[in-house]
Structure 1
């Protein structure tokens, strides 16, 4: 049993073969005792009990969330004892054990899982992990460019846009993030209905086309059209299928699978910044961006061939084009989701935390230059941040799956990020030794923000609605991001240390509010109980 899981009160049925459940005083933890009749070698029947502890019941939609198994597989026990057995119960809880044929066909590693709606998740196997690798390859450029915005911002602000104010330059990157979030919104409903293939095709064309156009930009409006609009739209269109498709393959291992896939973003951040710096010096900005676009294109084509949906439910065809258009518009942003308190709080938490994280990552290289560090050191800071983020994606993802749950880990890691902002960066950032320590700790603590956001949303969503609800989160993020980077650029203003400190405080407060929103969502889901969630 999970060490954080509150033991549930067990209700023992009076009659053999009967299943009953009883809530504890908190109202949302239950235990089920299931009597199984097993015959020994002499043919005498013995009753064995299985406890399923810590089942969390969502009173709103009767969804069953597993927070830890105390049960053992009676089939395996019988097999090990070389004893024939029979089940005295005709009905088993489908949320935990699929039918034998589905179980065997779905997952070669015997890790299949069936939810309360009868939907099967392989939760492993060669095909599932190939999809994870495909998502990993696709997210190298998608999240990699988001993690390396500082490598582009610091160069163009000193070269092509040297005479332009910092607040104006910040609009290029703010609009990039806004448009990537909005395009992610409009992809969600389409993905839920049609799958990943077509969005990937469109996203690849937009993304690589935007980067190729970026190479020739000289004016602010050109950067906005090529990078913010075209590449930004491609980023968002690609993000939804590359993240959401994992929810169709994994349930219990969703956090670790998502963490491994999003590690591609950290790899991209590690590679992109130093590669661009080297290419800037050797072949100039134009060809550096073109080479970068080619590398991204290769990664995305690999993901196109590997990323597949596991199972898509049959849908009725639309009666008309108008009905189809109306459905896609309405499904892109469903305001009714925001009436659900715990979803609204989680969505706000994700939007605030991710927008603040991106703003801080965008200006860390410029901050380093402002306090007197070399350009090489400033780019290396970005690389180290992403390297630490790689461990920050995997380790928290493993802990979330195995011990604590997505919400608990997210609250802890974002809180730690806020702490290191105030304790290390703000007072000691002008010292290079402290700045190195900061980027390691900050990179590790924020690495899980992008990877665990879909996990947290998935915990409070049905799988068939995941794409639309994930898109709704990014709609809120788009709204919040619109002012965050321009305000940050205005606070930085002339680039003095005093103004950078104001920028750090501003974004740290936003992250702190994001933590509070996640905590509220957790409270609305499971209360104050110390459970895996």
Structure 2
């Protein structure tokens, strides 16, 4: 009996130990579960923090790369006034060319930079921003090289005009298309920094081109700028990519691949077939038929028709006032410098006072026959500040008005509209200058006849900017009327 009791006691102690172990294990498991539940939010928060930091780094890198692209392509276009003034004084292919005909070279480059925007936007979605931009850099090198070998005026029109415009389009449009998607609250400031590259580029390129033209000749200068431009554009292209939300939306829009295996013959030249099948993003008819869209398109076309005329003729007009060629290039640089500062400061202001309000303020331009030197200097600076800021605020306003989902199609179409405005407005202004066929008059004094020949184009620019102001005011009233101050 005692042995039986001892065995039962031993079994009981063993069961108590097992029960204690089970409870201890349960408590430990419960503690681990509680620990996991406690750490789960912190782990999730840490992941979100890393993603947010990575997003910020990518956004900053996109701004820097896009700045380099506008500095290179657009900056060279904005410095064409140096070539305008030089070509007007050169014999050979430009001997019997009027200022309006020579201006057509820069006008073609500036207008095609945006006329091709729908195609450039579509290719940026079908391929990648990097691929399209690299093609643009290659064409930039080719265009400048061919221009350096040109011997006839039509050679320059094709190389330095048409081909260079296509090259700039394929490097500029991807940058301004993908950049707004990386930002929200600071979109105006970001686009101001990006598009200040056009002003900074003009500051750097205008005096550099004039010095190089004098030192090594304009043909070697074209070759050198082509090589430098290719290197800068190619390096910046490596950093371009869509923001995650836009990338997911583009992936969802792509058609699914066919289930049937294609024949061997259809696999030839796949890139060419994809290009031919590319759908140009069309603007939604409901949007295009709205008064808001019509008003925005009218303002874009009118502002673009006036925009490039002062920039291209700053140098030659300064010569007519008695300034030297070096001073003329300095005026281009000063206007571009003020444009760069204005784009950043007004972009920052737009994020707080309203992007459309700031855009309306920037269209309040002025024109006239400002022959006095002091008035001309003031015009060069103020025009750079306000006209340049319009360009940087333009894409940010499109996002506000039509939404991110419609931005690519609306942006491409309205940039094309701006290109046609440039193509029509700038040659007309050039034809009004020296309509009698006179060339740059070196040494004319203040108020001389050569300076007076710019009066008609100056009035035209002022009228176009006034009409653009009315169009943007129309947009402002369509959006919020007078009761909504921030828009």
Alignment TM-score > 0.5, same fold: yes
Tell me if 1:210 matches 2:143. yes
Matches of 1:349 and 1:387, distance apart in 2? 25
The one of 266, 269, 285 aligned to 2:202: 269
Give matches, 1:271-286, under 5 Å.
271-286=204-219
Q: Are the equivalent residues in 1 in contact too, given 2:283–2:406 (CA < 8 A)?
A: no
Structure 2 Cα separation of the partners of residues 324 and 299 of structure 1: 28
Which structure has the larger Rg over C-alpha atoms?
A: 2
Bigger proportion of residues as strand: 1
Distance 1:318 1:142 in 2: 36
Q: How does 1:42-53 map to 2 (within 5 A)?
A: none
1:7 maps to: none
Q: Which structure has greater helix proportion? A: 2
- Kindly indicate whether the alpha-carbon contact (under 8 Å) linking 2:182 and 2:243 is maintained by their aligned counterparts in 1: yes
Match among 377, 387, 394 for residue 453 of structure 1: 394
Which structure 2 residues correspond to residues 38-437 of structure 1 after superposition, within 5 A?
Answer: 104-108=49-53, 122=55, 125-159=56-90, 160-311=93-244, 312-313=247-248, 314-315=251-252, 316-317=254-255, 328-331=278-281, 337-401=287-351, 403-415=352-364, 418-419=365-366, 421-422=367-368, 426=369, 429-437=370-378
1:441 aligns with 2:441: no
Q: 1:248, 1:310 within 8 Å by CA — same for their partners in 2?
A: yes
Which stretches in structure 2 are left out of the alignment for 5+ residues? 1-37, 39-43, 259-269, 440-449
RMSD: 2.5
Query: Residue 459 of structure 2 aligns with which residue?
Result: 505
Q: Is the 8 A contact 2:118 2:280 kept in 1?
A: no
**For 1:347 and 1:490, how far apart are their aligned partners in 2?**
25
Q: What does the per-residue CA deviation read over 1:434-467, in whole Å, with 9 as the maximum and x for residues that have no partner?
A: 3222212221122212211111111112323322
Distance in 2, Cα, partners of 1:365 & 1:471 = 32
- Using structure 2 for the length normalisation, give the TM-score: 0.79
For each residue in 1:261-316, what CA deviation from the matched residue of structure 2 results, as whole angstroms up to 9, or x when unmatched?
11111111001110011011110111111111122122212211222222102233
Match for residue 523 of structure 1? 477
* TM-score normalised to structure 1 length: 0.73
Structure 1: stretches of 5+ with no match in the other structure: 1-83, 85-98, 110-121
* Cα-to-partner distance string for 1:316-359 (whole Å, 9 max, x where unaligned): 33668999668635426666642122122123212321331112
Q: In 2, distance between residues paired with 1:444 and 1:341?
A: 29
| Equivalent-residue separation in structure 2 for 1:240 and 1:405 (angstroms) | 24
Note the C-alpha offset of 1:217.
2.1
* Conserved? CA contact 1:131–1:307, under 8 Å: yes
Provide the rounded CA distance (Å) in 1 between the counterparts of 2:330 and 2:282: 39
Residue 352 of structure 1 contacts residue 480 of structure 1 at CA under 8 Å; is this kept in 2? yes
Shift of 1:233: 0.5
Question: 1:333·1:471 contact (CA, 8 Å) conserved in 2?
Answer: no
